[in-house]
Amino acid sequence: MAIKCIGILTSGGDAPGMNAAIRAVTRTAIYNGYQVKGIMRGYHGLVTGEIVEFKSQSVSNIIQKGGTILKTARSKEFRTEEGRRQAYENMKAAGIDALVVIGGDGSLSGAQLFAEEFDVPIVGLPGTIDNDVDGTDETIGYDTALNTIVDAVDKLRDTASSHERLFFVEVMGNTAGYLALNGAIASGAEAAIIPERDTQVDQLADLINNGFRKSKNSAIVLVAENKATGGALGLAQRIKQEFPEYDARVTILGHLQRGGSPTAKDRILASKMGATAIEALSEGQRNVMIGIKNGELVYVPFKKAIAHSSQMDLKDLEIVKILSM
């Protein structure tokens, strides 16, 4: 069946650049003769029928805005077979023939299941600040979040130096330490504690015994939020117990990392991926995510995108250590 109408939704955690992607999908679709429908509040809106028609002017003046004009929400209903059936019926009632889903691995997992159950053509865009989707070098929102972290650490560095303190800065990245690791390199932090490495305690002890004590009167350590890392609060508690002579403080950046105007890099990435999503549907592609590999846009099967099989290069931890001497 020929595609005449394309629906767009954003799902999961918001990420800077989602609006740029919505804009690109909408205008590229209209340019190619498709009708466009915006689905509010992600899969929840698909279940409840919150669907509106999108014109070119619907996405005017949004490329610079953080968040998502389509809103986003978690959907317990969509996790059920009955909920997905209702979503499909609402989609068909609205005349939607194909979907573009913008979100992280959970959103793409939902897209894969929905596509398989109801034979719906779906193309996904990786929108998550964590950069934890396989098959793409970067995700929409990652660069902006990284810059937010660097800006925050630069400010903390001033007060850490003034008070001779050890700061643990907790950043997002529940399943991946990209924000912590690359944030540490970019900000000149003394260490990055990430879930990909098993010997986190040793890394902390190494910092205290061999680095901080010998040449530093202040230090900043970036910590990915994860049970494996202990989190910033857990590490600060350990410092209090084992090294009471140091004044350890905790800063949890939290949702600050998701907000703000997207960087030029994220706007460009989102725009290119959004336009390519429509090209993919026009070519008859389905159940694929648009990724970027070595500067080239590629089609990545959903199963590969959500596999969590990529391995982080832990050699970069050594770079953090060497450059913080």
Q: CB-based burial of residue 245 (10 Å sphere; 0-12 exposed, 13-18 middle, 19+ buried)?
A: exposed
**Tokens 């999908």, located at residue:** 25
**Tokens 């997207």, located at residue:** 262
How do beta strands 296-301 and 288-293 pair?
antiparallel
CB-based contacts of 8, cutoff 8 Å, min separation 6: 22, 25, 26, 36, 37, 38, 39, 54, 70, 99, 100, 102
How do beta strands 296-301 and 35-39 pair?
unpaired
Calpha distance 246→132 (Å, rounded): 34
The greatest distance separating any two alpha carbons of the chain, rounded to the nearest whole angstrom, comes to: 71
130, 132, 134, 266: the active-site residue = 130
Calpha distance 253→71 (Å, rounded): 22
130 assigned to active site: yes
Angle CA(32)–CA(301)–CA(277) in degrees, nearest 5?
15
The residues annotated as belonging to the active site are: 130
